[in-house]
Homo-oligomer: A and B are copies of this chain.
Amino acid sequence: MDSRTDQASQVVSRGTADSRGSLDAISTPGRVADPTEGISHEELGLAARNHGLPLEALRYDVTPPGLHYILTHYDMPVLDAAWTLTIGGRVRTPLTLDLAALRAFPPVTHRVTMECAGNGRARLTPRPVSQPWLVEAVGTADWTGVPLRTLLTEAGVEPDAVEAVFTGADHGVERGVEQDYARSLTLADATATDPEVLVAYEMNGAPLPPQHGHPVRLVVPGWYGMAHVKWLRDITLTDTPFTGFQQAVAYRYRQSPDDPGTPVTRIAPRALMVPPGFPDFMSRTRVVRPGPLRLEGRAWSGRAPVTKVEVSTDDGDTWYEAELAPQDRHSRSHSHSWAWRHWHAPWTATPGTHVLTARATDAEGDTQPVTQPWNRGGFGNNAVQRVTVLCEPQ
């Protein structure tokens, strides 16, 4: 029996007329802000709960605990020792695994850069009203767990299965729809060897912290954050594509509410710079002294290896190439590391105000725009970061 498909259908229905009425009062449709409208208290409420990577933390190869970006759709659930992961649907042998059972499989570790699909949303005009990221929704961690492929082999996938649906223990309402957070992958993506999807129980060598999905989450290297289902409690193989809210309604590139759109999947190339010098508290404008400086940062793409990072110190008028560090040594023998690469470039600061920027290009030729093509959800934004620097004598 494929209870998951049934549940999926229910999830996208909006309940009875009565419950729809009351939920709709507290859970309004997605909207786009008026161009003159400042950030609202609702958006600020999300910004105060969730957080980005403070950009100076781009210095670390692996993001220290507490500095990796976080986006929690509902509340972080507290899962006790009775937690289990079920694997069912179109499999020969449904499985129920506790943490000890998962740890009994040979562990695999991948270093993965994760980025929120909504990164940069708050800089779009008009602004999609949701978690208002500026540019900082990123982080890199070493994730340890069991390849999903191993677990699916153990359960035995039926020939008619086409997708794996991943359901978390986080429960809430979104745009009028009550739901457990759930996403799917095609069977091909779920069982690929590179990128290799993990059912992860450790982050940087320690048990997952609550905000990263304790005790177990999915890790899908190269994909935006929405795919890495946290607080994972069920994997169901289905014989039809999943139509749950987070798959069929949210996380699609759309131009209008009626546009069916295309799915948000892999991470577009991006470079970020460690802002040089020191900041003003409020404006975050940087102050540097005249003379030679080393600019540095990280670059990544979930689509193909990063092949080039360029830097501009005149707001994009002219560009020069940065030096890229070798592919991360933690990557396996495959062609594409799923973690960011370090880059650095020289700059001689002269008195005055400068706008610094950097852009990454990947092996598919994708690069970063100066002006972001707009979409209604504010997804997949990879417009270049702009860092304003005042250079003045001591």
Q: Is the C-beta of A174 less than 8 angstroms from some C-beta in chain B?
A: yes
CB-contacts of A1-59 with B (<8 A)? 19, 22-23, 25-28, 37-52, 54-57, 59
User: Are B42 and A39 in contact (CB-based, < 8 A)?
Assistant: no
Contact status of A67 and B210, CB under 8 A, knowing A75-B56, A280-B26, A390-B22: yes
Of all chain B residues, which has the CB nearest A281? Answer: B174
Chain B residues in 8 Å Cβ range of A175: 281-282
Q: How large is the interface on A (under 10, 10 to 19, 20 to 34, 35 or more residues)?
A: 35 or more
User: Are B76 and A56 in contact (CB-based, < 8 A)?
Assistant: yes
Q: Is the C-beta of A72 less than 8 angstroms from some C-beta in chain B?
A: yes
Chain B residues in 8 Å Cβ range of A42: 282-284
Counting chain B CB atoms within 10 Å of each CB, which of A49, A172, A174, A210 scores highest?
Answer: A49
Of all chain B residues, which has the CB nearest A352? Answer: B22
Query: Interface stretch among A81-89, A129-137, A256-264?
Result: A129-137
Chain B nearest CB, measured from A7 CB (Å): 15
Chain B residues in 8 Å Cβ range of A54: 49, 72, 75-76, 211
Q: Is the C-beta of A349 less than 8 angstroms from some C-beta in chain B?
A: no
Q: Is the C-beta of A149 less than 8 angstroms from some C-beta in chain B?
A: no
Partner pick for A174 among B23, B275, B282, CB 8 A cutoff: B282
User: Are B390 and A209 in contact (CB-based, < 8 A)?
Assistant: no
